Amino acid sequence: MKKRWFNQFVIKSDCHAPGMILAQFKKLFAVMALAITSQNAGAVPVDLNAFTPVLPSNVTIATDGSSARLAEDMDTGVSSLENFSFSIPVDAVSLSFDYELVLPIDNEDYFDFYIDNLSVPEFSVGRLASADELIFNGTHTVDVTPWQGSVIPIIFDIQYGFDDWAFDSFVTIDNVNLEAGSVGVPEPATFSLLIIALLALTASGKITAKRATAD
């Protein structure tokens, strides 16, 4: 792709008009600037093995850290997955995850997600399943730009409510990702291509000037 860009914009030796050289230079510079500034954003998976399970017997983490299952605890009321030193990259713009909370009949349980502020959940879902089994699922996304470059606490948990008469609810978390924003940092190859193109344009200009003088 980069080689084709160069072939498209390099000045041919039979070009004599200085205005055409300038126009070609502007076109080339615009394309190179786009290549430099439009680095693609990407999702970086979060390894849930970096989190600490509270009540490990109630928390199951996939070997590759891509998902976790939290089952409610009858004695303490809460099962959680915690990381009190979670690093937010300087270019991160959002954190997202998929969840599925399963509430069999007679369960009142809640799936809570805490970030930074551990007093109030940033996200919470659940209620009493009085007649039928309930399933809550979806994807949650939170803006992390306020914490770029910071280390903050993050907690996933499941806990029961006042009218919970059964203790077999569970929540599954997966596809936890940090989304990075576009970064205007060019790759070394992009710099090299730009330098080569500029040298070619300079050489073409000199050739044109010599021919103009000779004419």
Query: SS in 3 state form for 83-147?
Result: EEEEECCCCEEEEEEEEEEEECCCEEEEEEEEECCCCCCCEEEEEEECCCCEEEEEEEEEECHHH
Residues ≥6 apart with Cβ < 8 Å to 200: 6, 10, 11
Q: What pLDDT, on the 0 to 100 scale, is given for residue 171?
A: 97
* Per-residue model confidence (pLDDT) at position 114: 98
95/141 Cα distance (integer angstroms): 6
- When pLDDT is cut at 50, 70 and 90, the band that residue 6 belongs to is very low
Q: Flag whether pLDDT at 9 surpasses 70.
A: no
Local confidence band at 182 (pLDDT 50, 70, 90 cut-offs): low
Measured distance CA(118)–CA(105) in Å, rounded: 29
- Evaluate whether 87 touches 144 at the Cβ level (below 8 Å): no
CB–CB of 105/169 below 8 Å? Answer: no
Q: Which among 101, 103, 56, 107 has a CA at the least distance from the CA of 80?
A: 56
pLDDT score for 32: 52
> What ranges in 38-77 are assigned the alpha helix state H?
none
pLDDT for res 149: 97
